[in-house]
Amino acid sequence: MFNLQQKFSLANKNVLVTGATGYLGRAMAYGLAELGARVLINGRSRSRVEELVAELRTNRFSAEPAVFDINDESTVRDWFAKFGDAPLHGLVNNAYAGGAGSIETAADDDYRNSYEVSLVATHRLLREALPHLRSAVNGGSGASVVNIASMYAMVSPDQRVYADKNLANPPFYGAAKAALLQWTRYAACEFGAEGIRINAISPGPFPSKTVQSTKSDFVTTLAGKVPLGRIGQADEIQGPLSFLISEASSFVNGANLVVDGGWTCW
């Protein structure tokens, strides 16, 4: 019988985090590493990936580079082939790239690109990771996949907080993230019986450090829309993610954990 502290531990577990060099991705990597995980740092930029790996190792954490483009099927397949027979205990689908806009200003390709990186890439990664996730289950450690969605998968942004339509949180982003939530439910039902759990996290307002320092009025407006009265800080994503990756959440499957300070409760 494991005690609760052991269930939260990620010691000796391999966890792949996509988009790990971004604002929230870095916090995710640090949180998982602090609990003992060997974090596989994914990104397209080798220099940025290696910089974060070196930083984590300097802090005596375990980290390895995983340099590949999640939108490139062949490079994803090649990376997993090189991963050999190693088990993968956790997969965090966090990567996203896309701009701002509105229905009036968005181009057709904005929707296609957002869907590709949010949903198609997530599907691709799970498909290629399956042998390694199954290996983790067979080894008795369990396997967990966490998809990073958004509060805008559930509610629409208040257009009044943006200076104009070109700067708004875009509809193609929210639509793609909503699709990701439904895909999460499908995947949870398909693979749950194998012991592979699939869940999602929907972050709320987590503006980057750059936005916080250069757009203080906008950040204040955002904070005013949160029941807690403030924006989220990057390290506040660590606990929810680590919980879902760990065996402490062993009976949580197909869930969407909303981390938004209460934004979607209004």
Q: Which domain holds residue 253?
A: 4-259
Percent of the chain with pLDDT strictly greater than 70: 99
Residue 199 located in a structural domain:
yes
Q: Is residue 265 domain-resident?
A: no
What lies within 8 Å, CB to CB, of 232 at 6+ separation is: 203, 204, 205, 206, 259, 260, 261
- Phi, psi dihedral angles at 40 (to 5 degrees): -95, 110
pTM greater than 0.95 (yes/no) = yes
Taking a C-beta distance cutoff of 8 angstroms, is the pair 204, 259 a contact? yes
As a whole number, mean pLDDT of residues 103-121 equals: 97
Whether 264 is in a domain gets the answer: no
Confidence of residue 1 (pLDDT cuts 50, 70, 90): low
CATH of the domain at 12: 3.40.50.720
Give the pLDDT of residue 108.
97
**pLDDT tens-place string over residues 43-64:** 999 999 999 999 999 999 999 9
State the pLDDT at residue 2: 59
> pLDDT for 131-166, tens place per residue?
999 999 999 999 999 999 999 999 999 999 999 999
Please indicate, yes or no, if residue 215 is contained in any of the structural domains. Answer: yes
Tally of domains in the chain: 1
Is it the case that residue 94 has pLDDT exceeding 60? yes
Buried (b) or exposed (e) across 164-173, using 16+ Cβ within 10 A?
A: eeebbbbbbb
Structural domain includes residue 210: yes
